[in-house]
Structure 1
């Protein structure tokens, strides 16, 4: 299992290439006409990973994984499959290391993300209708070319990199009672929950998934890795059909619950974040606010609640 020393080592390793993103204290928000359900709204503290290099938290895990490769391996280049954000993180790592990079995207990737990746000038291929199919193509390409494959969530070095967010956040706001984390494949919440529990064992961790892609919700319910028959959400960065045993195990040990929000609820939250806070985010980054708006965090006082705003975008505009 990943230890506190692994998260601290990742933080030291990636620090020269990452931003220490701010925590935005917004107090107890007034959602007003945006929602009629929020009766138990906690004090909120937003970790603005939408301001991270490459536009999302994914840069952390990708950089840690790439820097942990030996020089011979990484000199052949990096390859991955992505819903967009992990691809940008791997591109950033490849640029730092000055090595080639290849990105596979599923055809359900939002067009602005595809355009952004292609505009970066790297080799981008659309393959398969969902991330899992693009990932198969990426693994095959790595095997055929010798390029180093960097998994977006089922990699201890990626998880350790994402967990550096928790170390930062609990230094910036040491009295948090609850952390709310968007869930796709599970790399972010695996790292954040494990690191946070090692630093503060009593902290509450709540994951948020789309109703159209409840991959980890179903896996935790069945206590095994579940493959969804299909996914149906516009939040494509939160939409693999399958996670991994590593992520399911870490999440099962360290996460209190996973709750679900709809695409419309995420859009509503993203719109509120733009109008009221001036934050331009993608749907996945609004999942935590959506869960608060809909009173999905559970019963009882959540106390001071931190939400990771995981990626930039224009879904609220």
Structure 2
């Protein structure tokens, strides 16, 4: 299990390489949901998502030989962007493997940063290819199955705990579980009374299915939200969520896209559906906890173009 000391060490290591993103009360979301809402704005991170934290923590921990070998990562979009940009800053050669469903903008950004991008037909194929490239000698920077990465993502929770006012419930999106594992570890140490809720979309339910099964299991992926689409969680992230998170909620793709539109309208935030899913989940939380809730939302990323969101909105009849 990742402890607060590992997260504090990661925070010290990555300081100067990442942005301490704003933690702000949101009057618009508070009015929309009817309770005080505070948002941690990781979409303002230097790579457009929290992923820069874990990628930086991992790259800075590598030996000279591991750096010289070059690094490789599998990604639905944001981890690939983060690895590409961080590797470029540290003069490390990077390869990023993404499924063709990854946002075109993510591929463009990774390539512009100097990474070699390899595309596969689906996420299962992406994980298979990255495993082969690792076996051929590249240094793997896993998006969530790595203690250094989880500790890096945990710095989000460390900052949230330090910068937010009173909170009763914090909501965090789940793909492979690296973000919520780190955030939960930090919050349990710094704000032990806060309830922690994970959020997935239908068709990307690796963590909720793992909790039902008692451990990581492969899942079928069909969600449009590629940045949450992990074919399985890891034992590392499962252990943290099963021990530290109150519950994992599942919302539909349509609700996630609608959440992104509402975040734009009410919070003036341009988010991807991986963050938009927090709003419908927040309504479920409020139904369960009743009066007196003070919500915290980890707004994980904003790497979706206007065209992406409008296309999804049109598909679901939200325009």
The TM-score normalised by the length of structure 1 is 0.91
3-state SS of the aligned residue for 2:39? strand
Paired position in structure 1 for 2:60: 67
Check whether the contact 2:85–2:113 (CA below 8 A) recurs between aligned residues: no
* Separation in 1, partners of 2:285, 2:187: 23
Cα 1:301–1:316, aligned 2, differ >3 Å: closer, same or farther? farther
RMSD: 1.7
Paired position in structure 2 for 1:114: 107
Cα 1:57–1:197, aligned 2, differ >3 Å: closer, same or farther? same
Paired position in structure 2 for 1:34: none
Q: CA deviation at 1:289?
A: 1.6
Paired position in structure 2 for 1:35: none
1:228-278 per-position Cα deviation (integer Å, ceiling 9, x unaligned): 1x2111111111121111111110000000001111111111111112222
3-state SS of the aligned residue for 1:55? coil
1:280 equivalent in alignment to 2:270: yes
* Separation in 2, partners of 1:268, 1:293: 13
1:201 equivalent in alignment to 2:192: yes
2:126 pairs, out of 120, 134, 140, with 134
Aligned residues: 306
1:93 equivalent in alignment to 2:83: no
Q: CA deviation at 1:302?
A: 6.2
1:87-116 per-position Cα deviation (integer Å, ceiling 9, x unaligned): 111112212211111000012212232233
1:214 equivalent in alignment to 2:215: no
Check whether the contact 1:274–1:316 (CA below 8 A) recurs between aligned residues: no
The TM-score normalised by the length of structure 2 is 0.91
1:291 equivalent in alignment to 2:281: yes
* Separation in 2, partners of 1:223, 1:21: 35
Q: CA deviation at 1:148?
A: 1.1
1:154 pairs, out of 122, 125, 145, with 145
* Separation in 1, partners of 2:204, 2:295: 24
1:159-183 per-position Cα deviation (integer Å, ceiling 9, x unaligned): 0000001110111114222110000
Paired position in structure 1 for 2:234: 244
* Separation in 1, partners of 2:119, 2:170: 34
Check whether the contact 1:159–1:187 (CA below 8 A) recurs between aligned residues: yes
* Separation in 2, partners of 1:121, 1:2: 32
Unaligned residue ranges in structure 2 (runs of 5+): 311-319
* Separation in 1, partners of 2:87, 2:37: 35
Cα 1:81–1:43, aligned 2, differ >3 Å: closer, same or farther? same
1:42 equivalent in alignment to 2:35: yes
1:186 equivalent in alignment to 2:187: no
1:223 pairs, out of 214, 219, 228, with 214
Paired position in structure 1 for 2:30: 29
Cα 1:294–1:249, aligned 2, differ >3 Å: closer, same or farther? closer
3-state SS of the aligned residue for 1:103? strand
Q: CA deviation at 1:60?
A: 0.2
3-state SS of the aligned residue for 1:30? helix
Cα 1:149–1:8, aligned 2, differ >3 Å: closer, same or farther? same
3-state SS of the aligned residue for 2:31? coil
Cα 1:98–1:189, aligned 2, differ >3 Å: closer, same or farther? same
* Separation in 2, partners of 1:297, 1:8: 35
Cα 1:295–1:182, aligned 2, differ >3 Å: closer, same or farther? same
3-state SS of the aligned residue for 2:159? helix
* Separation in 2, partners of 1:242, 1:105: 16
Paired position in structure 1 for 2:317: none
Moved more, 47-56 or 112-121: 112-121
Check whether the contact 1:180–1:205 (CA below 8 A) recurs between aligned residues: yes
